Every structure is written in structure tokens, then in C-alpha cells.
Structure 1
């Protein structure tokens, strides 16, 4: 589910479907529903700082991959199906709506994965007509299960006449944004309790897109993150009052699609398989440990700003994430954030500190940014949460993480733009 609200080209046309029946019965669960438990998988990280996957929905555990989710490696094909309704004549075209999201979404993931993952869209070029008025589906953020199931049943039925779903790992159902019953706040990933069996394949998840034209920035990238088992990192007030973005502020796409620095945390890149084991360091034992952290956005051949102000190359294979174990299901993460790539509009740069808990649910604070400057804020006119906009530890600063006995000092920057840090544990983690 998405957070709070404040030229396409070269896309292939979907392949025609093979004859198959669409299931007429389904039960849908919202993206925040709890699954039955962690799926068995081979562990892919054995470092002492790797958290175990728990039964929490979208657990931040990294010792295994949940095979119920698509792994974002290589190329994944996504079909975009455009749905119109009898109570409205579309004022936009499928090409317009495709351009709202692509190539921006693919570009985001290409940069975040250092080129290891390509999201390839296959948009239809025409509208498919739903059998009922848009108002009949009662779309809203907390969608009634029966209304949601009726919408998906009708959408699959009309799309199955033209789309071979066996060819795609991602399905986007994009509704006419001008239809009277379409609620832009209802965009979300829907987990199917009983998968749709269509074209010889099981479809377990669908992204239902109800965005206005033009849409929220990076909203489709956020929803696609859920398809890869990433949790919501924003806080949703139970009583409808209070702050939304107090967990991570601007610092990860899964916290807000509006963030000034929306690149995925290094922890998420590790979880998704985009960091090599040697790029993650587990700091253990009392006493100081000195290491060099490369800017998170730096990849092979990707320029970042060096200390002289000019673009510097040659980074991309060094350490991206330092970790300190703080409990059975918790660690502290340390990563360097700059002003390039997906973070080019970042408010501040430096070493970002955050807590990770593999037992916390999606939306329940599985990652929380630690504010190194708790008495100040920054970029109040553009930040989604100004108190955390200046959270990183800046060059020359030293910061002790409250309640941990762990201190991080940012000592220097290399000519290439990497950060020299010192992490000290006064209490062994």
C-alpha cells in the first residue's frame, strides 16, 4: 500500500493469450495482511549480523528468500492492463498513463540494483471495458474484500481475452483515472489468498493502480517494491491524526514515494541480492573499528561527487553497509548517503544510521532512522518529514546511538568520495 499523499517509448505490446478459463472465485487480502508464515528457502547469508526471517508480513530477515515472491534479478516482465468503465469516457490514453510510470519506474530500479535488475513493461495500447460502472466496485483505501474480489474477477475476465498471463511476473491493472468511482488513495498491492489460475499459471499478487494523471511521484515503484517482499516503512496513525513518516522520513522509497532521498536502504539492497557479501561488514566486539563506506548510490561506472567536487568513478565494489548486532532480531545499520542517482535531490549527505527489526510487521516500524540531530530539522518546504531530513552524521561529527553504547564518527572522505568512519562499541553487541 502506498504512503501518504501530499515519454514512454520502446515498450513491447503484450503477447496474445492462449485459451484458458478464469477462476470465478477468489479471496483477496490487502497488502498489509499477515501471511501464514515464512516460506522455507536456502539461506543466502550467514554473517552473524544477518537477521532470521520471521512470520512477520514482509519480514526484514535476510537469511533466506521467501519463494512466494518474485526475486528481482535479471529481467522481469510486467503487463499493464488499462480498464475503462461504462459510466465514464476516458480522457487519457493508455500511452499517457504508461508515460506516467515508465521509464521512471524501470530507471529507478536499474539505478537501485546497480544494473542487476531490469523491470520491463508491456503495456496494452487500448482500453479494455469493465462490465460494471466504476462506482459499483466501491474503491477506497481500506477496500471491502467482496468489492475488491469483484473488481479483480471482472478485470481478469476481460483481460484474459487478450493477455497471456503466463508470460508475466508482474500484473498492473490501471483504472481510468477520470471515472467517478476511482479513488486514487486505493492504489495498492493485493495478495490473493487463493491464487488466480489463469493461462496455466498462478497469479498471487496484483497491483491495482487508481492514480490520477499525472500520478504521485514514484508511486508505482513503491507498489512494485511490495511484490519483492519489501515492507511499508511509513507510520499510519490509528486514529487518523498525527504524523505519517516518522519512521524513516525521506530515506527510503518504502517510507514515501515523495522522499527527497528515496533510494532503497542498503539493507533492502542486501535483502534483494543486489549487494555482494563482501559489501556488508558485521562489526563485532568492543573497541573501535575503522572502515571505508562507499556512497550507497555509487555503482560500477556511476559517477558520484568526489571531495574536489568533480565526478569520481571507480567506486561500486566496496563496502556499502556496516552492521552492529543489538539483539536476537535486531541490528543497527550504517550507510553513506550522497546526492546522486535516486538520491540526487537529497537534503543532506553523510552516514545514515537506522535500526532494523525482523520481527516487526510491515507498517509497524521494521526500520527506523536514528536522528543524529534530534533538535533540528531541514528542508521544511520540500521534505516529507523535516525532523529526519538532517538525520545523517556529517563529516567531522561523532554520534552515539541512544540506548546502545554504539558510537559512530565520520572522520574523513577519500578523493573518490567514499567516507571513512569509526564505529565503537562500549558495550559488546
Structure 2
């Protein structure tokens, strides 16, 4: 076993041949690589369940002989549901439902909590022992054939439980129960109440999404320099934790026509819907009145920049899971398909590098104002790709121009 772990008129600016193909995004789809949780989207890794349908998840609550639980399974289940289901329902535009099935009683473990040496960087031996004991204890109470996701939730008040140890365990050799292979388990060691959206983050790993935070060598370093508030897989505490459009593409939540592959050298004009807007979700339009007409237009624009790299552009603002977003505009980020989970496979590009925002609330204020705002233009350093945010439509969508071969870097 191993842990793997404004509304202004916009004119068409096309001056030389260029292409935007929302119905054929394949040329911009990075190939999936051998990197753990690769950001390649050309194919799906069949070792993971793809969340394009309803999935049932079992929650098993584990007690230990060295501690009398101070909470009930129902209280711990309520820490995570329905919030986790709601997050994914909004993020997937209703395409995915996570259905929890929590046990109503504690399942006793055979050994004290301290016997498993639970911590963030868990030894393989102790981790294996914990999983074997947990599965054996739970098997009489659970038919594992019924579930696509397994959560083992430890008594948060047991002396050996470390709240920093919550993670997904991927198994080289699957566990076996009820005639079915169990290839990954979410081990939950959270306090009561837990970190916000922590279970949604860990469940993202079950669907092959990588960690986007930076783990500093110095324990006092900043963890959020790569993506800041802008994706749950970077921080569950973020002000705008909706999953990147790239991740929604990967997971099958965006239709091919909702992804525009921008090619050529001249400007391409696009209309980007707010990423969080789905059917029935109100979005403030150009005049400030709510509009409910968005949800199935273009959500993501992509410029391929190399064999294994791409730039992504999406409209973000206080909509859906991003209701607390600090700033609105077009967010730009770089994706690397061959970069391992935790090593920076996605990095947000700051269109306002000299400023920051929402200092008391943001997990990383320098990136809280990263989006290109209304009436602004920005050229991506090192790539020369230029984006202009030209206006807002009455429905609340953003009109933008993207020029793949714009030239020198800078912001206008």
C-alpha cells in the first residue's frame, strides 16, 4: 500500500487567420501522462471512477478502545453532508450526485488509536494495519459492492488521531471485501467541526484530481502560492473554491462545445460564461439585474503552448461555489500535463502582480485579484498570449479577445 497522495460594445478584431473551435477542442487537449493525477484530458484514467453519474458513498465511523466517543455518527456525518454533495452538484451543473450512506453506529477497532501512529506522513506499515483492521471491522456491517467511494471516519477525540492526517490512500494491491476490489479509501481524521470542504477536496482525489497547493520545505512557508483561492484542490478554505474549468473538462462536466480551442496568430473574440453559472443559477448581468439564462455556453478557452503545456482562460466571479469570490474577471492559468500532483501542475497567472486583495479573508492575497478585469488587457509573460476583457453581455457573460501570438509581455 502507498499514499499518493461592464457592458460596452465590442467589435470583431480578427485581422489574420485564426481559429476558435468550441466544437473541436481536441487539438488543445493535453495527453494524459504517467504523472500521478496527470492533468492530461485527452483520455480518462479508467482506474478512477468518472463522476458523470450518481455515485454511492459509505461512511464508516471507527471508535477505539482507548477513547469513549464524545460525538455521534450522525453529528460527524452532518459535518460533511449535505455540504459535499451540494458542492459537487453545483460544480458539475447537476451532472454528478454524490449520495452518502453513513452508518448509524460506531464500529469498534481492535487496537488503541495510538497503536496506529496516525500522522500526515504515515508509515506504510502503520497505514496498512489501520486499513486492514478498519476493513475487517466494517465488513460485517457494510456490503462494499454497493459503493463507489469509501470513507473511514475516525473518532476525532481519540488520543492517537491526528487531524492533519486526512487523505486518500491509493492501493497498489487492492483490498478485497464482499467479492469486490477496493482500490482507494478516504481516511478521515478531522476535528469536530472539521475544516471547511475538506471532504470535497479529498473526494476530488478519488476522481483523479491532483493537489494544487505547494508544500513548502519550511513548515512556516506559504502553501497557496500556486493557485491561491481559485480551486478546491489548492485550498478548501479558498474564497473561490469552484473547480477550474480544466478540471470540469477532465471530469466530463463540460461538453466539447463549451471548450474553445484558440489557434492561429490573430485575435479571436469569444463570449465566456461565468464558470459557476448553471441552469437556474442567477448571475448579475450588465445592468446588475439577475439573469438565469446562462449555463450551456462556452466556459473555457484554451491556447496550446507546447507539447505538454496550455494556457486556460475562464470567467470567474461570485456565482455558485464561488459566491464569496474576492474579484471578478477572466482568470488565466497554465496547465502542465506531465507535472505530478503537488508539484505545481496548475499555476494561476497574476494579471495584477503589484497588488493584492481581501487580505483578511484570502488564503493568498497576492493572487486574490489575479483575474483580468473589465476593460483591461493582459499579455501572459513568457508566452506572448494576450487577452482583452471587452465587455459584459446583458445576461452576465464576458466578451473577450484572445490573441495567441500577441508579442511582448505586460499589462494594458
TM (norm. structure 1) is 0.90
Residues 172-321 of structure 1 aligned to structure 2 (within 5 Å) = 172-321=151-300
Residues 37-186 of structure 1 aligned to structure 2 (within 5 Å) = 47-186=26-165
Deviations 1:34-74 (A, max 9, x none): xxxxxxxxxx9861100000010000000101110011011
What is the CA–CA distance in structure 2 between the aligned matches of 1:220 and 1:334, rounded to whole Å?
27
What is the CA–CA distance in structure 1 between the aligned matches of 2:244 and 2:45, rounded to whole Å?
19
- What is the RMSD computed on CA atoms of the aligned residues? 1.2
Deviations 1:86-134 (A, max 9, x none): 1110000000000000000000000000000000000000001001110
Contact 1:45 1:63 in 2 (8 A): no
Question: Corresponding residue for 1:15?
Answer: none
- Which is worse superposed, 234-243 or 201-210? 234-243
What is the CA–CA distance in structure 2 between the aligned matches of 1:291 and 1:89, rounded to whole Å?
59
CA-CA distance at 1:317 after TM superposition: 0.9
Q: Structure 1: state its 5+ residue gaps.
A: 1-27, 33-43
CA-CA distance at 1:382 after TM superposition: 0.6
Question: Corresponding residue for 1:31?
Answer: 4
Residue 419 in structure 1 maps to residue 398 in structure 2: yes
Aligned with residue 326 of structure 2, among 347, 367, 384 = 347
Question: Corresponding residue for 2:17?
Answer: none
Deviations 1:169-226 (A, max 9, x none): 0000000000000000000000111101110110000000000000000000000000
Q: Secondary structure at the match of 1:410?
A: strand
TM (norm. structure 2) is 0.93
What is the CA–CA distance in structure 2 between the aligned matches of 1:221 and 1:335, rounded to whole Å?
22
Contact 1:45 1:62 in 2 (8 A): no
CA-CA distance at 1:282 after TM superposition: 0.7
Q: Structure 2: state its 5+ residue gaps.
A: 6-22, 408-412
Which consecutive segments of 4 or more residues in structure 1 shift more than 6 A? none
Where relative contact order (Cα < 8 A, 6+ residues apart) is larger, the structure is: 2
What is the CA–CA distance in structure 2 between the aligned matches of 1:318 and 1:341, rounded to whole Å?
16
Deviations 1:123-164 (A, max 9, x none): 000001001110010000000000000000100001001100
Question: Corresponding residue for 2:18?
Answer: none
What is the CA–CA distance in structure 1 between the aligned matches of 2:92 and 2:298, rounded to whole Å?
15
What is the CA–CA distance in structure 1 between the aligned matches of 2:91 and 2:128, rounded to whole Å?
34
Contact 1:90 1:178 in 2 (8 A): yes
Q: Secondary structure at the match of 2:54?
A: strand
What is the CA–CA distance in structure 1 between the aligned matches of 2:405 and 2:93, rounded to whole Å?
35
Contact 1:45 1:64 in 2 (8 A): no
